[in-house]
A and B are shown apart, each in its own frame.
Chain A
Amino acid sequence: MKSTLGLTTNQRSLTLLICGSILGILVAVSDPYVSVSGDTTVVAWVNDTAIGKAQYSQALALYGQEKRSPANAKDRTLVLDRLIEEELLVQKAVNDGALRNNLSVRQRTLQTILDSIQSDAVATNGSNTESSDKALEGYIEQLRINATIEWLSPPFIVKQARQ
């Protein structure tokens, strides 16, 4: 079962596997490559989250307004540093579960989604409360259909515990 190169099928497959592994190791140990130099919309990446040019320019303009003079190099560094810090704090809060545990964040997020559903409904059907409610109900119903809901403590046990 020798090939023209003098290797058995088994040896060849093992060689290929080793070559593949070496290639895999090289890819794994190298840093994930994110090219930012060619991008004209992103000024920085913070853990794969982009800080956009528009966001940076807006922050810089606000800072300039407060300072009442054009921003210099030091100001630009400061503004970018603040944006990075804000992004890091946002990521920390998300990792800490603020979306579910912090009442203000939770309510604001829910309200934002509900508002957007209702404005879509208003845009489609006009400012009709009934159609707006229907749109909301339909949206939530769709989410329920697509969800995996697993009861660990059946609802009736919860209810009995209350009684």
Chain B
Amino acid sequence: MRKMGVNTSNTVRAFIGLLGLLLLLAGSNTQINWQHQPIDTIVLVNQQPVTESALQVARQRAGRFMVQIPVQDRDRQLLQRLIDDELILQRAEELGILQADPGIRKLLARSAIDTVVRESQAKPIKEPELIAFYDDHQAVFQQPQRIMLQAAQFDDLEMANISRNAFLLGDSLKKTVSHGGGEMLPIPLSPLPKHMLIRYLGISLTDLALGISATHISKPIVQGDNIYLLQVIENQPATLMPFKQVRQTVMTELSSRQRRDSLTTTLEKLKQNASIQFNLSLLEQLASTDK
């Protein structure tokens, strides 16, 4: 009976011991680095592999600088160099240089971004996906509305009205403006998209101009101390480019958006899996100091 009791308590001990071990493994912050030695590992330097492929790259890079050296000696030297490099890299890790050096940090961040972009680009884009993207984003692939116009500026509303009436009776705008004491604005006489017109007319006059039909003239527009007349010569509406014609642009745009999306998704995932803690009291203190 007593023997059975001892056996039971030993089993309980063993069970608790195992449970403790499992909890220790599960709760540990330390990553267990199971060694995955590449198949072409030549030498382990503090358990870090130096591989035949790394040696191959070193041979290519050494190239013509080591042409004079016999193959055996060259490989010995290169291998020694790779081992020394590995030792220095491990020392850099120990010293925390990867975290501390701003230049290396930038390169590491760039490397992570490149990896994400490369993975995103490795996924092939299928034709239906491309067509669906074109259909969903037609505004991106249409040629914008363009208008060719003339604009005149006056100091006096009466003169602007007289010039407008003369134009409506058949005179040219340029002639009526010069007689009415106004001046023509220097706008190129060619169909211009909205963003170009804004440079010459500003946003509000451009918006008005886009609504005027071809060959029509606006009523005098008062803006501040000035009065304007806008005469639209040609108004080309926005046209959607056929898919076949813009296929390459659609491809470029979709790839670019996929790259951006995959980077955003990766950052979101990294944030979700990370342990991030803020020092709120210090942040508040810094914010109040700045004010």
Contact = CB atoms under 8 A, between A and B. Distances in A.
Given A45-B277, A53-B286, A108-B104, A90 B29 contact: no
Interface stretch (A26-34, A118-126, A127-135): A26-34
A49 interface: yes
Nearest to B54: A100
B29 A32 contact: yes
Contacts of B266: 92
B109 A14 contact: no
A98 B97 CA distance: 14
Interface string B1-33: 000001001001100100110011011010000
B23 A43 contact: no
B254 interface: no
B89 A149 contact: no
Contacts of A48: 29, 275
The secondary-structure label for the interface of chain B is: helix
B29 to A, nearest CB: 6
Contacts of A98: 108, 111-112, 115
A32 B277 CA distance: 12
Interface in A33-60: 34, 36-37, 39-40, 42-49, 53, 56-57, 60
Contacts of B109: 86, 89-90, 93
Contacts of B42: 151-153, 155, 158
B289 to A, nearest CB: 10
B41 interface: yes
Interface stretch (B69-77, B138-146, B166-174): B69-77
A113 B111 contact: no
B99 to A, nearest CB: 6
Contacts of A102: 107-108, 111
B60 to A, nearest CB: 12
Interface in A61-94: 70-71, 73, 76, 80, 84-86, 88-94
B interface residue count range (under 10 / 10 to 19 / 20 to 34 / 35 or more): 35 or more
Contacts of A114: 88
B55 A88 contact: no
Between B42, B45, B282, the greatest number of chain A beta carbons within 10 A of the residue's beta carbon is seen for B282
Contact of A86 (B23, B105, B271, B283): B105
A147 B87 contact: yes
Between B45, B112, B275, the greatest number of chain A beta carbons within 10 A of the residue's beta carbon is seen for B112
Interface string B55-75: 100000000000000011001
Contact of A17 (B6, B13, B76, B98): B13
| Top 9 closest pairs, chain A to chain B, by CB | A28-B27, A93-B108, A93-B112, A143-B87, A89-B112, A89-B109, A98-B111, A36-B279, A88-B270
Interface of B: 6, 9, 12-13, 16, 19-20, 23-24, 26-27, 29, 37, 41-48, 52, 55, 71-72, 75-76, 79, 83-89, 91-93, 95, 97-99, 101, 103-105, 107-113, 115, 266-267, 270-271, 274-283, 286-287, 290
